[in-house]
Amino acid sequence: MTLESTYVLGFLLPVSLLAAVMVLIFLKLKSRDQIRSRQRIKRLGEQLSLAQYQIKYRHKGLDRYNLLRYNLNDSLCIQSEIDLF
């Protein structure tokens, strides 16, 4: 082996190892991010499902409410005492 090929090999080996380590780190971070994204999407889906249930529950209550019989202002007030959980 000539002196130049030794220098090239001495340069390429550490660069190749560094590139391989960087690729492994990238793949690990990508995998972790995908897992976190799936978990977040699942949580958001559960929250959306609960919100849709609450909307249906409140619409059902409004449908049963006789607006002509009761005061309209009373029917539109915020009902913080409703506990769905």
Kindly report, residue by residue over 19-52, the tens digit of the pLDDT: 999 999 999 999 999 999 999 999 999 999 999 9
pTM of the model: 0.56
- Are 77 and 67 spatial neighbours (Cβ–Cβ below 8 Å)? no
Residue-level pLDDT at 7: 79
Q: What is the mean pLDDT of the chain?
A: 85
Residue 9, C-beta contacts closer than 8 angstroms, at least 6 positions apart: 1
Minimum mean pLDDT among 2-6, 8-12, 38-42, 78-82: which range?
78-82
